[in-house]
Structure 1
Amino acid sequence: MPEKKHRIGVYPGTFDPLTLGHLDIIRRGAKLVDHLVIGVTTNASKSPMFSLEERMEMVTRETADVPGKVSVVAFDSLLMDFAERENATMIVRGLRAVADFEYEYQMAGMNQQLNDRIETVFLMADVSLQPIASKLVKEIAIYGGNIGKFVTPTVRAQVVERINTTGRLRGVC
């Protein structure tokens, strides 16, 4: 009998900060594979609120109770190179809106040109979580808005603390 091939999925992102939308995709993506690798990356075009190490710790802590095999790995390379290193058979991506689809469709096409052995799988975010974006969460927090509906209590506290220590808070989150 042939050996069963393990399905390994990679869910990449900056996770700055990790949102309830990210957690929804992680929980659902973990059901599709034998092992979900959450790839925490740097992105030169974004100004992260948290360091790579802080984001790695945040994602590891917040996904500790996700059923199945889940690991958190940092990477700073082309996604397809990272996916190959992790022996992934699929890339898991979350979609919120039409604008996401257009960008993700283009990226999936480019990634397929780089490596056609790795499939891209799109998961629609839960309807209640579709408007959540890390960039908007940070902006709301900086201006003193309540981000409790968009992140876990621990992440909320971490964001508030970061804003308080940088002196950019204009209210209470």
Structure 2
Amino acid sequence: MRIPIWLIIIILIVGGVFYLVQKPKQDKALQELKDEGLYKERDKICVRQRHTFYSRTIDNLDVVYQAMKKDHLEEVKLPLDYFKTYSDKQDGVYFFRVRTALGGDKSGGLFLLEQVDSDTESYVYQFYLNTAYDGKIDSLSLACNLILTSLENAFKSLDSNIEVERKVNEFS
């Protein structure tokens, strides 16, 4: 079965118009989140990085989690993005499960926040993407950005001398 070329052109035009109408709305919504301190301009590589936080004063991961603003993460509705975030704790590790709009249970990913042992005088915490359910890592960059910004703000509110190291994770 062949699809007529005129039908393909119409679909592309409608998709292009939709994007051009929604993109300014998306930009405005992101600017509002940025103005509220809930979003930062970042490279999309942030979703592929392991973010390691070093603190000399924060000795408990629960304190960090409690300091995070999380209400805006539960359901994010933007013109070009929609996802839900569920957080939970198991065996001392906080899980952030992200479900994106398309793909049902097989879309989204799992981010982890954990305290790790260290040979230094600092307490060490790591935040990273553990699993992308459908393999589409870059589609999780906005969710990662919002969770990471909330996490960074929590650390900074608890320890003004917090240090952060970022390394790119390899995914297969």
The TM-score normalised by the length of structure 1 is 0.25
* Bigger Rg, structure 1 or 2: 2
Greater RCO, 1 or 2 (C-alpha within 8 Å, sep 6+): 2
Structure with the higher fraction of residues in strand conformation: 2
